[in-house]
Amino acid sequence: MDVQGQRVLMHERSVPYDYLILATGARHSYFGHDAWEPFAPGLKSIDDAAMLRRKILLAFEAAEIETDPEQRQALLTFVLVGAGPTGVEMTGAIAELAHKTLASDFRQIDPKATRIVLVEALPRILLAFPESLAKKAERALTRLGVEIKTNSPVEAIESEGVVIAGNRLPARTVIWTAGVAASRAGQWLGAEVDRAGRVKVGSDLSLPGHPNVFVIGDTASLSQKGKLLPGVAPVAMQEGRYVAQVIAQCMAGKKGMPPFRYRSHGNLATVGRSFAVVESGPLRLTGFLAWAMWLAVHIFYLIGFRNRLLIMFQWAWEYLTREHSARLITCGDATEPSSWQQLTLTSTLQESSVCHEPAPQQSQGSRRDNNERGVRLAQEG
Ligand SMILES: Cc1cc2nc3c(=O)[nH]c(=O)nc-3n(C[C@H](O)[C@H](O)[C@H](O)COP(=O)(O)OP(=O)(O)OC[C@H]3O[C@@H](n4cnc5c(N)ncnc54)[C@H](O)[C@@H]3O)c2cc1C
């Protein structure tokens, strides 16, 4: 950013601006242990999600052809580091996948025996929620077969597993859901930032000294009633609407917009396919009703009526039939270890798919036949 010259610099070209809104979000933070990233990827973008789904599914496929019992157990052990909403929701989803969706898809392994461990350095999960709700979420996760380790800071993450409080836990799939750091907007602007790298903004979300530059969403740092606004979508959306109004007022030559005020509608988190916890003002809900509310809220905020309708039918169908694209393995990149590449061939044969083209639905029987063919071909070639 060239704030003095009012230009956004993009490689060879630059774009002049009258008003600038920066909303470049956040990425994972490994709290100074960046070397852990290759072994414990995080979830932030759609690409991350596709990569993680692929990694999880390939672990089951690798376990199916693994003959060494210890290696097989390591392949069937999934560790999630960080028990905030993302960690809790993803742990529940993996438990559902392993213990229910894939339960009868393999011959050599029993996916129901999959070990799923949620590790948290703090004394409890879901710190943003009231303790009573966090306890209920913990019990729901335990019912799904998840092991929860609180007060357990991770000390090392490597290709073969994690070290927690001096104990090594062999696991071939480790997922990082422990922390985020803001984008580098602070550096681009030469602005003051907080500990997480978020740009400290004024009460109208502008950069101090630059009334025409605004920073919003996960990359902005603003406190309200002594508490930092959380990095969630409603904050980003309300800030976006507010800044649009500020700019419209300025352009109309009007002054006197009140400072930005965030109105929280509460917190929601799901645990598996029919349990959630909801906190909204004095309302505390758990169980199926909370889960239905979670669905309604997420569908309501989707853009466009057609999207809402389609997603509603798709989710209802998947819920009732458990028939969804959970098994789809899409193509990876050349930097993956060779053992994974061999499995890619296996999986590609199974799914009869090429990059980014969904596989046709197969019956259980044909999946198994292809599985064996794929394994044989992969081993031969
Ligand atoms: C797994 C997960 C689950 C979540 N679940 C919830 C939830 O249930 N409810 C909730 O309220 N919040 C949830 N959040 C948080 C929510 O997604 C964020 O708070 C919200 O997206 C922040 O919006 P934003 O516009 O600040 O940033 P983002 O939505 O992250 O958008 C930033 C955009 O800027 C782009 N960008 C970055 N750098 C540059 C650059 N140099 N040039 C150009 N573009 C750039 C990025 O590619 C990205 O598209 C979740 C987050 C994650 C990761």
Per-residue tokens: 337: 């270890």
Q: Is the dihedral of CA 270, 301, 235, 14 positive or negative?
A: positive
Secondary structure letter of residue 42 according to DSSP: B
| Final residue belonging to a domain, choices 178, 196, 213 | 178
Q: Residue 41 falls within a domain, yes or no?
A: yes
Q: Is there an atom of ligand 1 within 6 Å of 6 CB?
A: no
Query: Does 174 lie in the same domain as 38?
Result: yes
Query: Does 169 lie in the same domain as 75?
Result: yes
Q: Give the number of the atom of ligand 1 that is nearest the alpha carbon of residue 24.
A: 34
Candidates 245, 191, 179, 258; CA nearest to 220 is 191
d(CA 296, CA 301): 9
pLDDT at 336: 53
Q: Is there an atom of ligand 1 within 6 Å of 217 CB?
A: yes
Per-residue pLDDT of the chain (381 residues; tens, 9 = 90+): 999 999 999 988 999 999 999 999 998 899 999 999 999 999 988 899 999 999 999 999 999 999 999 999 999 999 999 999 999 999 999 999 999 888 888 999 999 999 999 999 999 999 989 999 999 999 999 999 999 999 999 999 999 999 998 999 999 999 999 988 999 999 999 999 998 999 999 999 999 999 999 999 999 999 999 999 999 999 999 999 999 999 999 999 988 889 999 999 889 999 988 899 999 989 999 999 999 998 888 888 888 888 888 888 888 887 777 665 567 787 665 445 444 444 544 444 444 333 443 333 443 433 434 343 333 333 333
Please, how many CA atoms are within 13 Å of residue 91, restricted to the half-sphere of its CB? Answer: 36
pLDDT at 145: 95
Query: Does 347 lie in the same domain as 297?
Result: no
Candidates 196, 155, 157, 159; CA nearest to 176 is 157
pLDDT at 86: 94
Asked if 270 and 295 touch (Cβ cutoff 8 Å), the reply is no
Query: How many other β-carbons are positioned within 10 Å of the β-carbon of residue 146?
Result: 23
Query: Does 137 lie in the same domain as 55?
Result: yes
d(CA 100, CA 175): 21
Ligand 1: residue whose CA is nearest its atom 5: 86
Q: Is there an atom of ligand 1 within 6 Å of 41 CB?
A: no
d(CA 58, CA 340): 7
Ligand 1: residue whose CA is nearest its atom 44: 24
pLDDT at 20: 97
Query: Does 200 lie in the same domain as 174?
Result: no
User: Residue 333 region, left (φ>0) first, then alpha (ψ -120 to 50), else beta?
Assistant: beta
Residues involved in catalysis: 89
Residue 308: Cβ-neighbour burial (10 angstroms; 0-12, 13-18, 19+): middle
Ligand 1: residue whose CA is nearest its atom 46: 24
d(CA 340, CA 363): 25
Q: Give the number of the atom of ligand 1 that is nearest the alpha carbon of residue 45.
A: 53
Query: Does 93 lie in the same domain as 153?
Result: yes
Q: Give the number of the atom of ligand 1 that is nearest the alpha carbon of residue 220.
A: 26
How many structural domains are present in the chain? 4
**Residue range(s) defining the domain that contains residue 308:** 267-321
Q: Residue 1 falls within a domain, yes or no?
A: no
> Which residue type is seen at 246?
V
Query: Does 107 lie in the same domain as 235?
Result: no
Predicted model pTM: 0.83
Q: Is there an atom of ligand 1 within 6 Å of 232 CB?
A: yes
How many angstroms separate the alpha carbon of residue 198 from the centre of ligand 1?
13
Query: How many other β-carbons are positioned within 10 Å of the β-carbon of residue 319?
Result: 12
d(CA 139, CA 300): 29
Asked if 142 and 148 touch (Cβ cutoff 8 Å), the reply is yes
Report CA-CA distances (Å) from 208 to 185, 190, 201, 212, 243.
Answer: 14, 11, 6, 10, 15
Query: Does 334 lie in the same domain as 311?
Result: no
d(CA 25, CA 182): 6
pLDDT at 363: 39
Asked if 222 and 204 touch (Cβ cutoff 8 Å), the reply is no
CATH number for the domain including 247?
A: 3.50.50.60
